[in-house]
A and B are shown apart, each in its own frame.
Chain A
Amino acid sequence: MKNLILVLKKELYRVFSDRKLIISLFIVPAILMFAIYSLIGTLAKSMNSDIESHTSKTYIVNATDMLEKVVKDSEFGKNADIKYLSDSEYASQKTDLEEQIRNGDADLIVVVQKDFDSVFSAYKGQGDAIPNINIVFNSTENYSQQAYSVFSNALNDYRTKLLGSRIGNLEQLTVFNQTETEIVKESKAGTQFIAMMLPYMIMIMLFSGAMSISVDAFAGEKERGTLASMLVSPIRRTDIAMGKVIALAIIAALSSIVYAVSMIISMSTMGGSMSGMSSGFGAVHFDIMQIVQLGLMLIVLDYFFVVVIAVLSSFAKDTKSASTFVTPAYMVVLVSALLTMFQSGAKNTLVKYAIPLYGNAIAIQDITTGDIQPVNFFVSLGVTVLVSAILTGVLAKIFDSDKLMFNA
């Protein structure tokens, strides 16, 4: 135990006595994370306000008097440059106008059937002709998409007014009133976005934090011959392996805490720019139990990742081949975390929590929303501890192997 602590202290000293390493491990990622999320927020805010303030260039063909009035009084009409065209004018310019839509130079063309009013008035019953309004827009252009969305609201008003004129009393069409009363679990309110993103972000940050230092601590030291200096000293090889793994787990955990804090700070500075994203973060309040559960899960996952990378790196002769071994593991972590983004809402079975990585990801998701069942939590935690313990045993075996440690 004494020697294990000596190795642990040495590994920690190695990182914390190296200014360049501190900067590259903790400070640069924090600044980058803050800068990236702030930039995303600023750009998203700017994009939203730009779309909302854009004056929609719109052509309305054969507009009826009522439609013209409805559009003028609607939200759409307040910020749109509308040109009204006759049927013949449209026919002569059709190709050019559609090209404008395709190129994003115009946002919307509304083509009302030429004899709209008379067809509408002639309607007596089933089988009679129904007039048509065709909307031409470009779904790949944000301005056009937004114009279509806002204009559809105006068109609904127009539809209601026409129905009123046909029936005389609109209340006859109202068979019931609809009101909404929203009931949500307090712990789940505003957490959908964070619950979707958190497993992904936590697992990626923990793994990449562990990867950057663990590959060098095992394969790098083996390659440089510095690990051998410890292997020929009177210290149990298990103590060397464990001392390194624990130290690296501490460093990786600190690194991911720095990532997480900088990310949360930058998310909260986004304001309302990301329509629901920042509010999802702002509304999150973890209670003590959730914090404890999340903390335990992160500690166990952190150790698990370090020991996985340690085993793979110890198999490798040098850092180059270690990186080759670790990359597929990174992909597995990435996919496991991504899978949680596609949850249908159905309750997960206990077996899913027993799948390493995926089980951890859905457990983190459940902790975030306050839905975690104690049995699911302990199964996920227990399996990870068990797998980590097995991998630690494998690592100890590798350290005892002449062939693997000395390439003999």
Chain B
Amino acid sequence: MISVNNLTKVYKLTASKMKELRTTENTKIAVNKLSFEAKPGEIYGLLGPNGAGKTTTLRCIATILKPTEGSVRVNGFDTVKEGEKVRGSIAFLTNEIKLDAHFTTDYMFRFFGRIHGMTEEQIDKRRDELFTRFDIHSFAGKKIEELSTGMKQRAAIAVTLVHDPEVVIFDEPTSGLDILTARTVTDYLKELKEAGKTVVVSTHIMSEAEKLCDRIGIIINGKKVIEGTLADIYEQTHTDDLEDAFFELYKENGGDVK
């Protein structure tokens, strides 16, 4: 269960960043009073264009960033005051976080299993499950630097899920993956949902969100502009397609569609 309440995140801008963004403001509101809940047994999708605040929101949930205002609770734990407990109950996967290429998948799997306080028997059992599910056994003993992009992504997913967490957060889960690996990932997210896990994904791929998410929250310029099931969104935007709905909302909220 994830509960985001009035989350606001403001970044201070350096002089060079202000110049790059062509602004005289020395702060940037990345997320503005955002609230939503993701429940066990559902996949909640955060949709939005680049720079909308999706990644910042997920980073706040994963305790990487501290909210400027508001709060985030994961399985009842506050992300600021109980960061370790939150991190112990989530899996957070993003393209920016990678496994150390000097080690084998096997070593990293065991290392993070031990970090999560698992016994060797528990690690072995979980290893068999995940390595079989993601077809990792054949390259488990190879150094990560020797693996293909798809193999690395599968290895990263297995390592992230070593502790069988209740909450799974994926930032752009299929970004940069080939179609086969992408399908493996989306299928597994559905399995996690069936297993009663809370899954939150961020994406800007509308077709992926349509197929995957039970509920969707669209964020534009740091603010949530709509939330609900696909049917709810179609009804509220008078459209029958998520992409059309997104463009309608984007225009309504000051977005420039060329």
Instruction: Select one of A6, A14, A236 contacting B114, CB under 8 A.
Output: A6
Tally A-B pairs: CB < 8 A: 68
User: A173 in the interface, Cβ–Cβ < 8 Å?
Assistant: no
Q: How far does the Cβ of B95 sit from chain A's closest Cβ, in whole Å?
A: 8
Q: Are B100 and A221 in contact (CB under 8 A)?
A: yes
Task: Report the contact-size class of chain B (Cβ under 8 Å from the partner).
Answer: 20 to 34
User: A375 in the interface, Cβ–Cβ < 8 Å?
Assistant: no
Q: How far does the Cβ of A4 sit from chain B's closest Cβ, in whole Å?
A: 11
Which of chain A's residues has its CB closest to B60's CB? Answer: A402
User: B70 in the interface, Cβ–Cβ < 8 Å?
Assistant: no
What are the residues of chain B within 8 A of A229 when measuring CB–CB? Answer: 97-100, 112, 159
Q: Are A234 and B92 in contact (CB under 8 A)?
A: no
User: B195 in the interface, Cβ–Cβ < 8 Å?
Assistant: no
User: A289 in the interface, Cβ–Cβ < 8 Å?
Assistant: no
Q: Give residues 96-133 of B contacting A (CB, 8 Å).
A: 96-103, 107, 111-112, 114-117
Q: Are A10 and B11 in contact (CB under 8 A)?
A: no
A residues with a Cβ closer than 8 A to B are: 3, 6, 10, 13-14, 17-18, 221, 224-226, 228-236, 402, 406, 408
> How many angstroms between the C-alpha atoms of A231 and B97 in the bound complex?
10
Known contacts A6-B115, A234-B85, A402-B64; is A224 also within 8 Å of B101 by CB? yes
What are the residues of chain A within 8 A of B117 when measuring CB–CB? Answer: 234
Known contacts A402-B65, A406-B59; is A232 also within 8 Å of B92 by CB? yes
> How many angstroms between the C-alpha atoms of A231 and B65 in the bound complex?
11
Contact with A along B19-59 (1 / 0, CB 8 A): 00000000000000000000000000000000000000001
Instruction: Select one of B98, B103, B107, B116 contacting A234, CB under 8 A.
Output: B116
Q: Are B84 and A402 in contact (CB under 8 A)?
A: no
Instruction: Select one of B11, B64, B111, B115 contacting A228, CB under 8 A.
Output: B64
Closest 4 CB pairs of A and B: A234-B88, A226-B100, A225-B98, A228-B97
Q: Are B115 and A234 in contact (CB under 8 A)?
A: yes
Q: How far does the Cβ of A247 sit from chain B's closest Cβ, in whole Å?
A: 13
Q: Are A14 and B87 in contact (CB under 8 A)?
A: no
Q: How far does the Cβ of A271 sit from chain B's closest Cβ, in whole Å?
A: 43
Q: Are B65 and A14 in contact (CB under 8 A)?
A: no
Which of chain B's residues has its CB closest to A225's CB? Answer: B98
> How many angstroms between the C-alpha atoms of A402 and B67 in the bound complex?
11
What are the residues of chain A within 8 A of B64 when measuring CB–CB? Answer: 228, 231-232, 402, 406, 408
Instruction: Select one of B11, B66, B102, B111 contacting A6, CB under 8 A.
Output: B111
Which of chain A's residues has its CB closest to B63's CB? Answer: A232
User: B62 in the interface, Cβ–Cβ < 8 Å?
Assistant: yes
Which of chain A's residues has its CB closest to B100's CB? Answer: A226
Which of chain A's residues has its CB closest to B104's CB? Answer: A17
Q: Are A14 and B116 in contact (CB under 8 A)?
A: no
Which of chain B's residues has its CB closest to A239's CB? Answer: B115
> How many angstroms between the C-alpha atoms of A18 and B62 in the bound complex?
32
Q: How far does the Cβ of B6 sit from chain A's closest Cβ, in whole Å?
A: 19
What are the residues of chain B within 8 A of A3 when measuring CB–CB? Answer: 115
Q: How far does the Cβ of A79 sit from chain B's closest Cβ, in whole Å?
A: 62
What are the residues of chain A within 8 A of B100 when measuring CB–CB? Answer: 14, 221, 224, 226, 229
> How many angstroms between the C-alpha atoms of A286 and B92 in the bound complex?
55
What are the residues of chain A within 8 A of B84 when measuring CB–CB? Answer: 234-236
Q: Are A225 and B85 in contact (CB under 8 A)?
A: no
Q: Are A234 and B111 in contact (CB under 8 A)?
A: no
What are the residues of chain A within 8 A of B111 when measuring CB–CB? Answer: 6, 10
Which of A13, A224, A229 is most buried by chain B, counting CB atoms within 10 A of its CB?
A: A229
Q: Are B98 and A408 in contact (CB under 8 A)?
A: no
Q: Are B92 and A18 in contact (CB under 8 A)?
A: no
Pull 11 A–B residue pairs with CB atoms less than 8 Å apart, ordered by A: A10-B103, A221-B100, A225-B96, A229-B159, A232-B64, A233-B115, A233-B116, A235-B87, A402-B64, A406-B64, A408-B65
What are the residues of chain A within 8 A of B159 when measuring CB–CB? Answer: 229
What are the residues of chain A within 8 A of B99 when measuring CB–CB? Answer: 226, 229
Q: Are B115 and A13 in contact (CB under 8 A)?
A: no
Excluding A229-B112, A234-B117, A408-B11, 4 further A-B contacts by CB distance (< 8 Å) are A10-B103, A13-B107, A228-B64, A406-B65
> How many angstroms between the C-alpha atoms of A10 and B102 in the bound complex?
11
Instruction: Select one of A10, A13, A226, A234 contacting B87, CB under 8 A.
Output: A234
> How many angstroms between the C-alpha atoms of A224 and B95 in the bound complex?
11
Which of chain A's residues has its CB closest to B89's CB? Answer: A234
What are the residues of chain B within 8 A of A234 when measuring CB–CB? Answer: 84-85, 87-88, 115-117
What are the residues of chain A within 8 A of B102 when measuring CB–CB? Answer: 14, 17-18
What are the residues of chain B within 8 A of A228 when measuring CB–CB? Answer: 64, 96-98
Q: Are A235 and B115 in contact (CB under 8 A)?
A: yes
> How many angstroms between the C-alpha atoms of A193 and B214 in the bound complex?
77
Contact with A along B61-89 (1 / 0, CB 8 A): 01111100000000000000000110110
> How many angstroms between the C-alpha atoms of A230 and B112 in the bound complex?
8
What are the residues of chain B within 8 A of A10 when measuring CB–CB? Answer: 103, 111
